[in-house]
Structure 1
Amino acid sequence: MTAYLTWTEVKLLAREPLVLVLSLMFPVLLMVLLVAAFRDHGGDVFAGLNGDVFYFTAYLGAAIAVMGFMGTPTHLAAYRDSGVVRRFRAAGLSARALVVSQAAVLVMLASVGAAAMTAVAWVTFDLAAPESAGGVIAAFAAGMLAFAGIGVLLGSVMPSARAAQGLGLLLFFGTFLLVGGGPPPSVLPDTLNDIAAWTPTGLLIVAIRSPWDGSGLDAPAMVALVVIAGAGFALATRRLARS
């Protein structure tokens, strides 16, 4: 049943090109613009990294965060607002199956977006390979689980798709622009950087960037992402079971 529901969600998503453009093309286009502008820059202003690596790793995280903060919550909140979740429950579909299907769609879209972004960066900018590809993949996987948990949790509590979209925009841009999606952290106040680093978006980018530059897996960030994932899935499943 879960696999069938996931496949149905994918087919429904294919009928919404705006969602696909937002989730797949938005991070790629911004990554291209920023890497093209700052690829020859580096040093302390970019946390000791080259400008291309700094912005590429940030927007690799954006491929996940944009779905976790906006795509999944908006879709699930629309289901709740229109009574689809109640009909699912009446048909015997468990809340767990609904949560898993939403998470699977996020994982699929984030993976496709990241693959497209990586291909564009390597072909267009000759981006250097990560020091630890396995570490980057592990961090990316943990990030997808964490933001899937965030996405289904937000979708399970927001009253409407419009409310979920508004909150998602605030959370995404309010955190992402502070942790590498906009100005380098070195030009921002230290207090703001300290706070931003412990947001889910900040943890995600740190987790991806650390093995990329050869620093190894960032254990605190990885553990925090796993905890976020577990809490998000558990709370969302409980909430949807009562919807």
Structure 2
Amino acid sequence: MPAVPAASAVPALFRLTVTETKLFFREPVIVFFALAFPPILLVVLGLVPSMRQPDPALGGGTAIALYVPIVIALGLAMFALNGLSQLFATYREKGVLRRMRTTPVRPRIMLGAQVLMATVLSVVTMVVSLLIGRFAFDVPLPRQAGAYVLGYLLVALSLFAIGLLVASVAPSGKAAGAIGTLTFFPLMFFAGLWVPRAGMNSVLRTISDFTPLGAGVQALQDATSGHWPQPLHLAVLLGWTILAGRLAARYFRWE
């Protein structure tokens, strides 16, 4: 079939994004963990009294303020690795992608629609989490808004690219879920979910700097504190986005 002309690629991307968004909301379990779970987790953590008490070890800040970027990163990881990848691989398993192969839709447009949908929806979750932190637990909003937006978008794009790479090579939805879960836990460890980056030794912190979530959480924390993210962390996020995105497009299979 002929490819979609460049002039009509944008409208095709928009229409496909709208369609994919409608299909996404037909999966209540994925919707819950991708969109609702992070704000709920933030509320649960914030209700723990010790999380709201100023800590001299944190420069007088609170633990809940430290965990806001981590929870936001967790939401992105769950969306990308346990939601987007599994949903996309299931399309292939059920023959949806095989039928789409008979249309002029390019793989890049299909992958782009998934990334655009996931990015827009995850931004909503991020904003809700920031507002919960600000008005429920007195967590300051990011002081460098532009840097925060840049860091967030790079984290999102890098994780969604990884999620689509998993979906592109996984033979089934269950396989994609298993691969995504195996990838999720080490990434969250280096993001500081169990051991904050400040408490890691030099070796673990260096490894964390070169993971998408380790670099991403630090970039968000820097922006929250009023600083621009370190060039290393931005370069790491951009590198993961390009590498995983190119591999996802290369190994994309309709069936």
Same fold by TM-score greater than 0.5: yes
The 2-side partners of 1:161 and 1:241 are apart by 14
Instruction: Give 1:71 shift.
Output: 1.2
Structure 2 residue runs of 5 or longer lacking an equivalent are 1-11
Q: What letter matches 1:32 in structure 2?
A: V
Between 1:168-177 and 1:10-19, the stretch displaced more is 168-177
220-229 vs 30-39, greater mean Cα deviation: 30-39
Match of 1:14 in 2: 25
Matched position secondary structure for 1:55: helix
Residue 46 of structure 2 corresponds to residue 42 of structure 1: no
TM-score (norm 2): 0.87
- Shift of residue 41 of structure 1? 4.0
The structural deviation recorded for 1:43 is 4.0
* Secondary structure of 1:91's aligned partner: coil
Q: Report the secondary structure of 1:217's partner residue.
A: coil
Percent identity (aligned): 26
CA contact (8 A) 1:47 1:186 kept: no
Shift in CA distance, 187/145, structure 1 to aligned 2, threshold 3 Å = closer
Give the deviation of 1:95 after TM superposition: 0.3
Picking from 81, 85, 88, the partner of 2:97 is 85
Mapped contact 1:153–1:232 kept (Cα < 8 A): yes
1:22-171 alignment, distance < 5 Å: 22-37=33-48, 38-44=51-57, 46=58, 49-171=61-183
Give the deviation of 1:187 after TM superposition: 4.5
> Which moves more between the two structures, 181-190 or 92-101?
181-190
Q: Is the 8 A contact 1:152 1:236 kept in 2?
A: yes
The aligned length equals 242
Tell me the distance in 1 between the aligned counterparts of 2:194 and 2:35. 19
Q: Tell me the TM-score normalized by structure 1.
A: 0.90
Greater displacement, 33-42 / 20-29: 33-42
Q: Is the 8 A contact 1:23 1:109 kept in 2?
A: no
In structure 1, the gaps of 5 or more residues are none
**Quick check: which has more Rg, 1 or 2?**
2
C-alpha distance 156-223 of structure 1, shift in aligned 2 (>3 A): same
Task: Tell me which amino acid in the other structure corresponds to 2:181.
Answer: L
Please tell me the root mean square deviation across aligned C-alpha atoms, in Å.
Answer: 2.0
> SS of the counterpart of 1:79?
helix
